[in-house]
Amino acid sequence: MKTILVTGGAGFIGANFIHYLFTKTEDIFIVNLDKLTYAGNPENLKDIEDNDNYKFIKGDICNQELIEYLFSEYDFDYLVNFAAESHVDRSIHNPNIFIETNVMGTATLLNVAKRFWIKDFSINRFLQVSTDEVYGTLPEDNKEIKFTENTPLQPHSPYSASKTSADCIVKSYYDTFGFPTLITRCSNNYGPYQFPEKLIPLIIHNALNDKPLPIYGDGKQVRDWLFVEDHCDAIWTVLNKGKIGEVYNIGGNNEIKNIEIVKQILDYLKKTHSLITYVKDRLGHDRRYAIDASKIKNELAWTPQYKFEDKITETIEWYLSNNNWVENVVSGEYLKWIKQNY
């Protein structure tokens, strides 16, 4: 049985990853460490909270004493680090918290794991979940150019700079100490449990309430969209089959302009396009992201299984069916609940 420390497991991708693991195998024990900030919600995992192979711990990855306690209490085989501040707008307004969590928190995890795993690195794995935003932006007029694992890192926001810094620290532990690191860099995720500050759930929520839909600039920024379950499958593949010290790009092969997604959601919900409200573009806004995922395909035989046109409909329906979850998150009611119960 593998014992896995999942950090940030109450967030969007982390919660989906834990759900995925329990459908994939029973031969695991998961410790979920999450600070439960605004984007981390234990309700995301309510259906498995009584599972004997699952343990939730409320805590901060910057808390070295807590991390040391967990490593002494549990004999972790793997660590998957999802814990991060992740919204670009918030990083523009307050970069410090991004540096603290994304950089210092990652360093704390590395230092403790290195000390506890020092006897035999070969049996352990430390997987850093990163983002394609570390690469910067791509030209709009040449669709053949995509991000590869060898693309120079050129972050343009405090968020992407903090993730780039964390990636470099993770890589340095492999280069310096032979520490068993893996890094994955994914494109834009979508699916259930995503906090409604990100594009797709925000548009769904605002449209349902006939609120204006704020679209940065001309809305023609291009993103590659990856269904979250595909992302989880890729992470599990890299964790088990990836070559130590390597970086793997994970993409969905779905390059779409933001404005096209907005219009698609409005059409599905039978809402007027007049809700679209163009606003001043975000500072340092990258125009195009596109992932070349040929490495993970050729070396680990992984490819995305889901088409955007199928899963965007399923995603919209999930938010329609879980409107209470959305309203509690948006209103902050679940944060009050966390304070009372954790």
CB under 8 Å to 111, separation ≥6 — which residues?
64
CB under 8 Å to 301, separation ≥6 — which residues?
none
Annotated catalytic sites, by residue?
132-133, 159
Cα 297–Cα 132–Cα 153 angle in degrees, nearest 5: 110
What is the C-alpha to C-alpha distance for residues 232 and 237, in angstroms, rounded to an integer? 9
What is the C-alpha to C-alpha distance for residues 32 and 46, in angstroms, rounded to an integer? 13
Task: Determine the residue type at 57.
Answer: I
What is the C-alpha to C-alpha distance for residues 32 and 9, in angstroms, rounded to an integer? 5
Q: Which long-range contacts (CB under 8 A, 24 or more apart) does 100-103 make?
A: 100/62, 101/60, 101/61, 101/62, 101/162, 102/159, 102/162, 102/163, 102/165, 102/166, 103/162, 103/165, 103/166, 103/169
